[in-house]
């Protein structure tokens, strides 16, 4: 039976990249009638330092962003990871299945650890095994993610396959990454070779879901681009990553193809295109940030929604965890 699981780290302001690559598609999947489970992965967030008060606020804000983007907590399961202890327990079990060599090859680990691996938390290194646990604890079959998370979903498949092989079972299904649409990798507005990221030190590199109309317009106006006009055909964007990024953002926001965007703006300069893009982004994001503001005015209600989601998540996860423990040879109470 198809079942979708995906998550977002509540590690800062959610960006336009998170919206187009994840949130918008999460809502679409739910509306397609597939069973959808969405998680604010707070246990992942603490793999790097998080101020405790900030983490709580960011988690509520991320929950508000999900709901404001169309994820309905009565039709999807929406919760924060740490309220369902099966994630941490399954994470440990899968730490004992995953191999150090596999983790060492993860490009996100290499990017984030850089030259200072010695100083990183053990959790940051083990992060992909916990992500595998998040997915496998629900027997999820599909994982909608942006391009940057593809390698982690592939690792999840390797972990599931090794478990099934070692314990001579077919217990874990192999989940498919769902990487769809034109905005699977939204790039930084300051550097077309880097992805837009909530942890980038430069606020000008990203559009935050909470940015006001003036800030959005200013960030697009100042976005790094070349001086040429937009081409009429897609080939003309090949060596122009910044221009391609803005065209893709426009296409994703307008639910158009990039070809259709060039049909409208080919031959025009950024002096015309950037303000049109800013207007479109404001029109799409303003209702979301307004709704987030409304939801954030009642944090207790958000907390209630998350704990109701957690109860529903636990009902699915706990029996799968119990069976995993049994398969691995742990005595369970009768
Ligand atoms: N730039 C992006 N374009 C498209 N999709 C993106 N995603 C993230 N950035 C982009 C997708 O958003 C989901 C949640 O990501 P995450 O919060 O778990 O962590 P991340 O991938 O590491 O995202 P960030 O924003 O860059 O966070 P930090 O800076 O904290 O590491 C995923 O589906 C991701 O693909």
What residues form the annotated binding site for L-tryptophan? 134
Sole residue written with tokens 């994001």 = 285
Q: ipTM value of the model?
A: 0.95
pLDDT averages per 10-residue partition of the chain, 334 residues: 96 94 96 96 97 98 98 98 98 98 96 89 97 98 95 98 98 96 93 93 96 96 96 95 97 97 97 97 96 98 98 98 98 88
9 lines ligand 1 (CB under 6 A): yes
What pLDDT sits at residue 115? Answer: 81
8 lines ligand 1 (CB under 6 A): yes
Show the CA angle centred on residue 123, arms to residues 153 and 305, nearest 5°. 70
pLDDT 10s digits, 262-311: 999 999 999 999 999 999 999 999 999 999 999 999 999 999 999 999 99
Return d(Cα 314, Cα 309) in angstroms, integer. 9
Please give the model's pTM, rounded to 2 decimal places: 0.95
What pLDDT sits at residue 191? Answer: 95
What pLDDT sits at residue 314? Answer: 98
Return d(Cα 82, Cα 103) in angstroms, integer. 23
**Exposed, middle or buried by CB within 10 Å (0-12, 13-18, 19+), for 332?**
exposed
Domains (range + CATH), the chain: 3-178+298-328 (3.40.50.620), 203-294 (1.10.240.10)
d(CA 249, ligand 1 centre) in Å:
15
What pLDDT sits at residue 112? Answer: 86
Residue 300's Cβ-side half-sphere holds a number of Cα atoms within 13 Å equal to 0
d(CA 41, ligand 1 centre) in Å:
12
């Amino acid at each position: 039976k198809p079942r979708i699981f995906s998550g977002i780290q509540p590690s800062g302001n959610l960006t336009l990249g998170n919206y187009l690559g994840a949130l918008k598609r999460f809502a679409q999947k739910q509306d397609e009638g597939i069973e959808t489970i969405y998680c604010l992965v707070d246990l992942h967030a603490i793999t790097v330092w998080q101020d405790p008060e900030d983490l709580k606020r960011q988690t509520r804000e991320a929950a508000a962003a999900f709901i404001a983007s169309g994820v309905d907590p009565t039709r999807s399961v929406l919760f924060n990871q740490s309220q369902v202890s099966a994630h941490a327990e399954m994470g440990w079990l899968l730490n004992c299945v995953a191999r150090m060599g596999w983790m060492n090859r993860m490009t996100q680990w290499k990017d984030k650890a850089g030259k200072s691996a010695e100083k990183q938390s053990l959790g940051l290194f083990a992060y992909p095994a916990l992500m595998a646990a998040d997915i496998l604890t629900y027997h999820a079959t599909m994982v909608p993610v942006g391009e940057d998370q593809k390698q982690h979903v592939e690792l999840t498949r390797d972990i599931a396959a090794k478990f099934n092989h070692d314990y001579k079972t077919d217990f874990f299904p192999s989940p498919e990454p769902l990487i769809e649409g034109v905005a699977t990798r939204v790039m930084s507005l300051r550097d077309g070779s880097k992805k837009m990221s909530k942890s980038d030190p430069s606020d000008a590199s990203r559009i935050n879901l909470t940015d006001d109309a003036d800030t959005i317009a200013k960030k697009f106006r100042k976005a790094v681009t070349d001086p040429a006009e937009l081409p009429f055909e897609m080939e003309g964007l090949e060596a122009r990553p910044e221009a391609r990024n803005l065209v893709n953002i426009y296409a994703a926001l307008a639910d158009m193809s990039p070809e259709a965007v060039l049909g409208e703006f080919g031959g025009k300069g950024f002096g015309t295109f950037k303000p049109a893009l800013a207007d479109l982004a404001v029109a799409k994001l303003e209702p979301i940030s307004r709704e987030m503001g409304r939801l954030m005015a009642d944090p207790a209600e958000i907390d209630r929604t998350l704990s109701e989601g957690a109860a529903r998540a636990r009902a699915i996860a706990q029996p799968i965890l119990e069976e995993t423990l049994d398969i691995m040879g742990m005595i369970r109470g009768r």
